[in-house]
Structure 1
Amino acid sequence: MFKTFLPLALGVVLAASPLALRAQGCSDAGFCTMGALKPDQPFNKKIEFRLRSMELTFYRGKTTLTPIVYVATADMNFSLNQKTSFQVKLPYQAVSGRLGNTSSLGDVSLCVTRSVFSNGIYDINVSVGGKIPMNHSDLDENGRPLPMYYQTSLGTYDGVMGISVISKKWLFATGIQHPFNRNKNQFLWSRWEGSGEDMNYIHRYSVANELRRGTDVMFRVERNIRFSRLNFTLGLLPIYRITHDYITLGTGERVAQEGSTGLALTALLTTGYSFNVQSGIKMLLGNKIVNRDPNTDGLKREFVSTLSYYYRF
């Protein structure tokens, strides 16, 4: 009884922590949790790691403005053979804020991961996948287009590739996410004139009309500290946007969003508890070290907490 209660109590305490956490880039975009790019990947030669599994994740993110983002995700992994697995992520996202409330199925992630090298000391895995939008990122409130903070989809088809090296104590990973199209978001400041909202507040949201996000490159380094049932990881997650975001102004001119390239750096802490070899819980917290402005894609977060339950079949 005590062994079960201890990790649950730890999770509640961490979730309620008043730390000023900031996260951006991967909080909802999701490619940092696909295949070989996932955090806190186990390395255990006593059991077959690539078993079929399901993970249920509950996420709450407080943005830098009023919207609060909630996401519940079913993360399913299927073994195709001893070296290859297939991942499907199905998120349901809800947003509540001053300008409105939205909810729907979020972008679906599909990923194939293959072990290309394993010698008992470390593994090398590669992943190829993509994200499929569930809407055009054009949700509105009473006919007025909502900023990206309120959108439940990024509205783009994205390609993702990555590679990781995992040992008993360390995880190194790098990957790239590239959007292939612009979305159909229509948010311009002028479209909220006469709405009764304070226009100074409206101007705090980045214009995202027909947004095409830039390409992101991520790196992940983690140090794992593992005990028989309890584990911790400390890590860094730099994400660099190597190309500009593009938007369409009210005049119809297509322009690059100034300041949209550059580094977003996050320090990560995860903790997990295994009930047995098949199931357990995990929590992830991220502290922003470097921010990237402006926030055209609406992914910046002031506070993030994620709690997961996993089961391996």
Structure 2
Amino acid sequence: MLTKLSSYLILSLGLVFIYTGNVYSQGCSDAGVCTVHSFKPNGLDSISENLNQFKVGVSYGAADYSIAVFGTYLEYNRQLNEKFGIDAKITSLSQSGNDISSFGLSDIYVNSNYRISKKASLTLGVKIPLSDANKMEDGRALPMDYQSSLGTFDLVLGFGYNIGSLQLVAALQQPLTQNNNEFFAEYYPLFSPLREFQSTNQFKRSGDVLIRASYPIDFGKKFRLTPSLLPIYHLANDKYTNIDGIELEIEGSQGLTLNWNLYLDYELNNKQALQFNVGSPFIVRDARPDGLTRSFVASLEYRIKF
């Protein structure tokens, strides 16, 4: 059993490093919608026998411009009855690179879940920013890559459906407000690496639509391996206002990002479990002005039911 599991893990982790060598794309864990409890593989099944669940997690991402990103979160899930459940999560983010370090609280997520049937579910929620995405360094605004939040208040909608063991999710994350970022690359010295970043003054970010397909594979009673395919489509080009006060589209920021994820769940006992998750992109977009660029994302989560 363990030998077979080890072979799967070695093969999967090997693919991770092959694909992360030169590719950069949207890191699933940052925009938010793909880490909502009910949108993750086995999400709504994880508290089916208990009314409450608590999670704590950490993540690491290798970002563009030689930036390392560390994230943390605390999450609470409550099953109100057989049909309704609610989730609440708070996140934080730390970025470091190019002699700049930044840390801050990111967002609060509040979601409600409704089971239509054993196979189908609906999710409605919001993302509430804990930052205006306009942190400064020496009196100058930092690019989005060093902001702990997108700074937008977002609507989250989703629909989940199971076909046998295959789990499908379709979701929308749509900003209802925009942030207060004032970053101009031109304001930094010629020798500064921040001159290479996309200016995002008065940044206007478009929404995302995703589809996730997951297929859990059980290895005995303790282990579960779940490969997942995650296409994310950014609905329109983002915009910013240049130094002359003219609003411009950021060409190449609209389009498809195709990620894959691999989840490994280990049940410590009937109340507690660990989950390890890695992800990487197959297909990328040309422009990532919101600072969510990742070549590789890994996370570890502990959860307890009570």
Q: Is TM > 0.5 for Structure 1 vs Structure 2?
A: yes
Partner AA of 2:102 in structure 1: T
Paired residue for 1:224, among 216, 227, 231?
A: 216
- Distance (Å, rounded) in 2 between the aligned partners of 1:57 and 1:176: 24
Partner AA of 2:116 in structure 1: V
2:148 is the counterpart of 1:155? no
Residue identity over aligned pairs, in percent, reads 30
2:213 is the counterpart of 1:237? no
- Distance (Å, rounded) in 2 between the aligned partners of 1:141 and 1:43: 45
Residue 52 (structure 2) aligns with: 52
What are the superposed Cα offsets for residues 19-77 of structure 1, whole Å, 9 maximum, x if unpaired?
55355153311111114312343658xx8346310111110111121221111101111
SS of the residue corresponding to residue 65 of structure 1 reads helix
What are the superposed Cα offsets for residues 163-195 of structure 1, whole Å, 9 maximum, x if unpaired?
1113562110000010112211111111113xx
Structure 1 stretches of 4+ moved >4 Å: 17-20
- Distance (Å, rounded) in 2 between the aligned partners of 1:157 and 1:222: 28
Paired residue for 2:123, among 118, 127, 141?
A: 127
2:196 is the counterpart of 1:204? yes
SS of the residue corresponding to residue 187 of structure 1 reads coil
Please give the TM-score of this superposition, normalised by the length of structure 1: 0.87
SS of the residue corresponding to residue 107 of structure 1 reads strand
- Distance (Å, rounded) in 2 between the aligned partners of 1:231 and 1:168: 16
1:107 shift after superposition:
1.0
What are the superposed Cα offsets for residues 200-256 of structure 1, whole Å, 9 maximum, x if unpaired?
x33431221111111110000011101311000112100001122111111111122
Alignment of 1:163-202 (within 5 A): 163-166=159-162, 169-193=165-189, 198-199=191-192, 201-202=193-194
8 Å CA contact 2:109, 2:126 repeated in 1: yes
- Cα 1:295–1:89 change in 2 (3 A) is same
SS of the residue corresponding to residue 292 of structure 1 reads coil
- Cα 1:308–1:127 change in 2 (3 A) is same
- Distance (Å, rounded) in 2 between the aligned partners of 1:69 and 1:185: 19
2:263 is the counterpart of 1:264? no
Paired residue for 1:138, among 125, 134, 138?
A: 134
- Distance (Å, rounded) in 2 between the aligned partners of 1:186 and 1:256: 16
Q: List runs of 5+ in structure 2 lacking aligned partners.
A: none
Please give the TM-score of this superposition, normalised by the length of structure 2: 0.89
2:76 is the counterpart of 1:76? yes
8 Å CA contact 2:120, 2:162 repeated in 1: yes
Aligned residues: 295
8 Å CA contact 1:175, 1:217 repeated in 2: yes
Q: CA RMSD in A?
A: 2.4
- Distance (Å, rounded) in 1 between the aligned partners of 2:49 and 2:292: 32
Residue 31 (structure 2) aligns with: 29
1:101 shift after superposition:
1.1
- Cα 1:114–1:146 change in 2 (3 A) is same
8 Å CA contact 2:27, 2:296 repeated in 1: no
